[in-house]
Amino acid sequence: MLQVKNIQASVAEDSGNTPILRGIDFSVQAGEFHLILGVNGSGKSTFGKVLLGSSQYKQMGGSILFCGEEISEKPTFERAQMGIFLSHQSPPALEGISVKEVLRAADKSSNHKRALFHFKKSLKESLSSSGLSHSFMDRDLNVGASGGERKKMEIASLLTIGAKLAFLDEIDSGLDVDALKMVSEGINRFAENKENAVILVSHSETILKYVNPTHVHVFCGGKIVASGGIELAEKIHKEGYGAVQDCVSCLKSI
């Protein structure tokens, strides 16, 4: 589904081209669930934004193939239309635009536009699966919503617009245990369709009680320094990044 080869990226306005991503190689197949760990400032969020072609960054090399197509030059909306979804670390509020309007607009412009009846049915189911009442449909997006409700709304959006690849950036941060369970259920609902794939960035061990990553990667200094299975996450949560030799050498070299 996704094949990233040696991408490098820096901040768009940085005339010195100081790299934030320094050669990322990363592949995801349909049905896989990848967990990304890494110290603060190691490039995890930048990676998600570069995948979606954020104008904040410039990609300086490498390639990004999504479903066999090179997307590095494509604008963000085309990447989203193709089925890549990025959740916001801090979801913004949009005054004057309801949840229904935002998601219907996304649905209409996607490559699999549905009849209004099917769209509404899907939106209601997605809100329920994410632990939100149907009244959210007619509320302005995230206006007056709590942090937890905003994170649930990200999952409801993901489930409604029918993306294939979800990049969920710290979707679990700031959630109480009940909200975390609801968000995890939503993620699992998306992941149970084996045509989909998930990339989850998280610092917390707690979410691993509810979701089952198939692959784990560790970011450091804009690179992936270690990859493995769930045992890698367990080791880091128990012993810290110092337990991963490649992380220690990377941190020394920064």
Q: Which is nearer to ligand ADP, 167 or 219 (CB)?
A: 219
Torsion-angle region of residue 120: left (phi > 0), alpha (psi -120 to 50) or beta? Answer: alpha
Query: Candidates 17-25, 43-51, 152-160, 189-197 — which segment interacts with Mg ion by CB under 5 A?
Result: 43-51
* 11 is an interface residue for ligand ADP by CB under 6 A: yes
Rounded CA-CA distance 179/247 in Å is: 32
* 202 is an interface residue for Mg ion by CB under 5 A: no
C-alpha Rg value of the chain to the nearest Å: 18
Rounded CA-CA distance 47/157 in Å is: 21
**Residue from 27, 29, 56, 204 that binds ligand ADP (CB under 6 A)?**
56
* Whole-number Cα distances in Å, 234 to 62, 211, 250: 31, 14, 20
* 250 is an interface residue for ligand ADP by CB under 6 A: no
Q: Which is nearer to Mg ion, 31 or 41 (CB)?
A: 41
Nearest to 73 by CA among 162, 161, 165, 7: 7
**Residue from 19, 33, 37, 44 that binds ligand ADP (CB under 6 A)?**
44
Rounded CA-CA distance 62/200 in Å is: 22
**Residue from 8, 45, 130, 157 that binds ligand ADP (CB under 6 A)?**
45
**Residue from 8, 10, 42, 45 that binds Mg ion (CB under 5 A)?**
45
2-11 and 33-38 beta bridge pairing: unpaired
Q: Which is nearer to Mg ion, 44 or 152 (CB)?
A: 44
Query: Candidates 38-46, 160-168, 173-181, 231-239 — which segment interacts with ligand ADP by CB under 6 A?
Result: 38-46
SS3 content of the chain, % helix, strand, coil (to 5): 40, 25, 35
What track of x and - describes contact with ligand ADP for positions 186 through 225 (by CB under 6 A)? ---------------------------------x------
**Residue from 46, 59, 87, 202 that binds ligand ADP (CB under 6 A)?**
46
Helices 147-161 and 99-109 pack at an angle, to 10 degrees, of 30
Shortest reach from residue 45's CB to Mg ion, in Å: 3
Q: Which helix (H) or strand (E) holds 94?
A: none
What residues make contact with ligand ADP under the rule CB under 6 A?
Answer: 11, 20, 38, 40-46, 56, 219
